[in-house]
């Protein structure tokens, strides 16, 4: 039997020129292997602790997925803080962030067990310290896999990708992390777009790295200025 574990990678970055940098891997450490399959991680620092979240299950694709939260003060010794389960769904792709009112917000997607009205529903949980979590809250529309939530200037931004066959992504915003409204209903619809990550620059420019799985299946970089309703996209030429 294969046993998949969560590992922590430490790297150092050395700049050798204006357009070139070398990354040196200095340490690899396994931090968790309690389930047969442990994968799809996210990591942040909150109240002097590291929090790592990920999916646990019997396999990469299995109906029993749960979201594990582990914590560490030094990055070396890790303990379980919580295990979030859902009786009606395989929980996948845990992401964690901090809300403006200084709470942890954990989000993920539920692959609903049949029979169900739809295939997927994105969910969110909230915690003040990482151990006690609220009941799940539905975020975004059904069959829109909301990949990651990023807060900027008191507003949450997240991009969901369609899982019902139409193959497009949608930009959502929220003021409370619970109700997400579509800011751009169809943000991009070429090349089977799906997973995303948004960052905001000091001048409030938003940058979005987008994965595409179609032909040619190369990544895209999107950029937008406030109010983030109009985006420009560049093909990165790499997958």
Whole-number percent of the chain with pLDDT over 90? 88
Q: Which domain holds residue 46?
A: 1-14+24-138
Do 35 and 121 lie in one domain? The reply is yes
Q: Report d(CA 58, CA 229) in Å as an integer.
A: 41
Mean pLDDT of the chain: 94
CATH number of the structural domain spanning residue 80:
2.115.10.20
Q: Which pLDDT tens digit goes with each residue over 124-181? A: 999 999 999 999 999 999 999 999 999 999 999 999 999 999 999 999 999 999 999 9
Do 206 and 159 lie in one domain? The reply is yes
Closest to 130 measured CA to CA, from 90, 80, 57, 76: 80
Do 112 and 160 lie in one domain? The reply is no
Domain count, the chain: 2
Banded pLDDT at 49 (limits 50, 70, 90): very high
Do 95 and 9 lie in one domain? The reply is yes
Whether residue 16 has pLDDT greater than 50: no
pTM of the model: 0.91
Give the model's pLDDT for residue 18.
Answer: 44
Between the alpha carbon of residue 235 and those of residues 147, 195, 212, 221, the distances in Å are 20, 15, 10, 7
Query: Which residue(s) pair with 144 in the sheet?
Result: 162
Domain boundary, last residue among 84, 105, 138: 138
Give the 3-state DSSP-derived string for 135-164, with helices as H, strands as E and coil as C. Answer: CCEECCCCCEEEEEEEEECCEEEEEEEECC
Closest to 223 measured CA to CA, from 210, 232, 234, 215: 232
Do 119 and 37 lie in one domain? The reply is yes
- What lies within 8 Å, CB to CB, of 45 at 6+ separation is 51
């Amino acid at each position: 039997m294969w046993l998949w574990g969560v590992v922590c990678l430490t790297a150092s970055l050395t700049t050798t020129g204006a357009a070139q940098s070398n990354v040196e891997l200095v340490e690899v450490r396994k931090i968790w292997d309690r389930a047969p399959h442990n994968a799809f991680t996210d990591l942040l620092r909150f109240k002097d602790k590291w929090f790592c979240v990920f999916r646990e299950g019997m396999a990469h694709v299995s109906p029993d997925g749960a979201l594990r939260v582990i914590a560490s003060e030094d990055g070396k010794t890790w303990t379980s803080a919580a295990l979030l389960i859902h009786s009606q769904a395989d929980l996948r792709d845990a992401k964690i962030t901090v809300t403006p009112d200084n709470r942890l917000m954990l989000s993920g997607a539920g692959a609903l067990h049949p029979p169900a009205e739809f295939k997927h529903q994105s969910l969110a949980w909230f915690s003040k310290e990482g151990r006690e979590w609220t009941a799940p809250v539905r975020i975004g529309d059904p069959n829109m896999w909301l990949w990651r939530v990023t807060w900027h200037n008191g507003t949450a931004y997240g991009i969901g990708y369609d899982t019902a066959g139409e193959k497009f992504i949608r930009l959502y915003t929220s003021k409370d992390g619970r109700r997400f409204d579509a800011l751009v209903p169809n943000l991009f619809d070429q090349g089977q777009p799906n997973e995303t990550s948004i960052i905001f620059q000091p001048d409030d420019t938003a940058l979005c790295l987008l994965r595409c799985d179609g032909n040619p299946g190369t990544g895209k970089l999107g950029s937008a200025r406030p109010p983030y309703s109009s985006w420009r996209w560049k093909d990165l030429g790499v997958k």
